[in-house]
Amino acid sequence: MKCPNCGNRTEIDIDMHSDGFTNDQSPVKECGACGLLWRVKIEAGETVVDIIRQPEKK
Ligand SMILES: [Zn+2]
């Protein structure tokens, strides 16, 4: 999926060791372009983008 911040597709899965993650939580992703750290989760059947770390401001 695209980065929810900048729309870039250069994403990196950083949560490769998936111990204990469930169907409701996808791996943490990092945008290779802006540095946003996010995860997509399912809440009550809706896809929610969970921003973990905002990109650094320049
Ligand atoms: Zn981005």
- Residue 24: predicted pLDDT: 56
Cα–Cα distance measured from residue 57 to residue 24, given in angstroms and rounded to the nearest whole number:
30
pTM of the model: 0.69
Query: If pLDDT is split at 50, 70 and 90, which confidence band does 6 have?
Result: very high
- Residue 36: predicted pLDDT: 94
Residue ranges of domains in the chain: 11-53
Please state the length of the chain: 58
Kindly give the distance from the C-alpha atom of residue 18 to the centroid of ligand 1, in angstroms, as a whole number.
23
Kindly give the distance from the C-alpha atom of residue 46 to the centroid of ligand 1, in angstroms, as a whole number.
22
Which amino acid makes up residue 53? R
pLDDT digits (tens, 9 = 90+) for 8-52: 998 787 765 555 555 556 778 899 999 999 988 888 999 899 999
Kindly give the distance from the C-alpha atom of residue 50 to the centroid of ligand 1, in angstroms, as a whole number.
14
- Residue 25: predicted pLDDT: 62
In this structure, what token pair is assigned to residue 55? Answer: 């990109």
Cβ pair 8, 33 in contact under 8 A:
yes
